[in-house]
Structure 1
């Protein structure tokens, strides 16, 4: 038993002294060197490391560029050239800005036309109301003129101007000449001076 414990202690001292010698001289055995290199390459396995965060950021940025390329050119395979994708994005943005400005100007023109049409519509409505009032007024006047007054009978149309010595046959009618009912031979007045000499 004492011999085994002694050998264990000796081996521990030897290994401890060997580690101290390695650390002091800076020489790393091949096995330790391989483990350290492996740890450096697998640094992204630790989520909190700076290299892992940088790698994730680059991957997200690449995904966004791919999405932008698909949006700019739908139906075509996505491009991986970032400067070309940015150039396409700038071109599309300028085109959209120009179209937006043109649509804005067109909208302003349409708004002005709508205002002018509304004003014209209001004027036509007022004119229509005025014409309607005039029409109703004229219709009322025609009704008043067509309505006969009480106790009034229309006079007979006179074919000539009545003389002062003629009397009215009927009071309700105008003066009517009687000579139009005489025979035509009595209408001739060319021989009155021979047939009927003037009284002395």
Structure 2
């Protein structure tokens, strides 16, 4: 309780002596004589002590606002220490949370930058492909495309020359196929 002595000062015993013995500057002797003992230079409660008591009452009312103020200084100091430790722990937790959030923000910014670069690359690729598609799809100037034929050529028609149109002509057959001298042996007569 060294901290209590530092806060209260050297004159803290005066409160207890006032209650137990009466006035602080005189003690009665059993022999009937009066012995004067001077505990402080002023001989009474100083302004500093009143200010200190007021501070303890204010501290007690702040710590526990719903309850009546405590008069025991050690209890008030214990409560103050407890509250300060709680606040210190909460502040440490908030610092750690803040650091984690800052790290997450940094990683999200880096990811955003990467996505932005990827988007730019994809846009450039798209434009390049569109230009290539336009270059391939456009026929060269001066070239007239051929129109499809008005009718479909039959199976027995074949072009004589590619530049001429289709005309009927005899199909090329092997010589054994159009030799009719052995037809009666190879094929039976039709009825």
Unmatched tracts of structure 1, length 5 or more = 1-39, 41-48, 170-175, 196-200
1:7 aligned residue: none
Q: Which residue number corresponds to residue 168 of structure 2?
A: 182
Over the aligned positions, Cα root-mean-square deviation in angstroms equals 3.5
Alignment partner of 1:70 is 2:67: no
Q: Tell me the distance in 2 between the aligned counterparts of 1:155 and 1:136.
A: 32
Residue 147 (structure 1) shift: 1.8
Unaligned runs of 5+ in 2: 1-24, 26-39, 182-191
Q: Following TM superposition, where does structure 1 have runs of at least 4 consecutive aligned residues deviating by more than 6 angstroms?
A: none
Question: Highest CA radius of gyration, 1 or 2?
Answer: 1
The more displaced of 58-67 and 141-150 is 141-150
Matches within 5 A, 1:44-193: 50-51=41-42, 55-155=46-146, 166-169=161-164, 178=166, 182=168, 189=173, 191-193=177-179
Bigger proportion of residues as helix: 1
Q: Secondary structure at the match of 1:76?
A: coil
SS of residue matched to 1:141: helix
TM-score (norm 2): 0.60
Partner Cα separation in structure 1 for residue 161 and residue 48 of structure 2: 129
Structure (1/2) with the larger strand percentage:
2
Residues 194 and 115 (structure 1), Cα distance of their counterparts in 2 relative to 1, 3 Å cut: same
Task: Name the CA shift for 1:77/1:192 in 2 (closer, same or farther; >3 Å).
Answer: same
CA distance in 2, matches of 1:85, 1:91: 10
CA distance in 1, matches of 2:173, 2:131: 54
Higher relative contact order (CA 8 A, sep 6+): 2
Q: Distance in 1 between matches of 2:44 and 2:130?
A: 93
Q: Normalising by the residue count of structure 1, what TM-score does the alignment of the two structures yield?
A: 0.57
Secondary structure, counterpart of 1:58 in structure 2? helix
Q: Distance in 2 between matches of 1:133 and 1:98?
A: 53
Q: 1:58 to 1:122 in 2, by over 3 A?
A: same
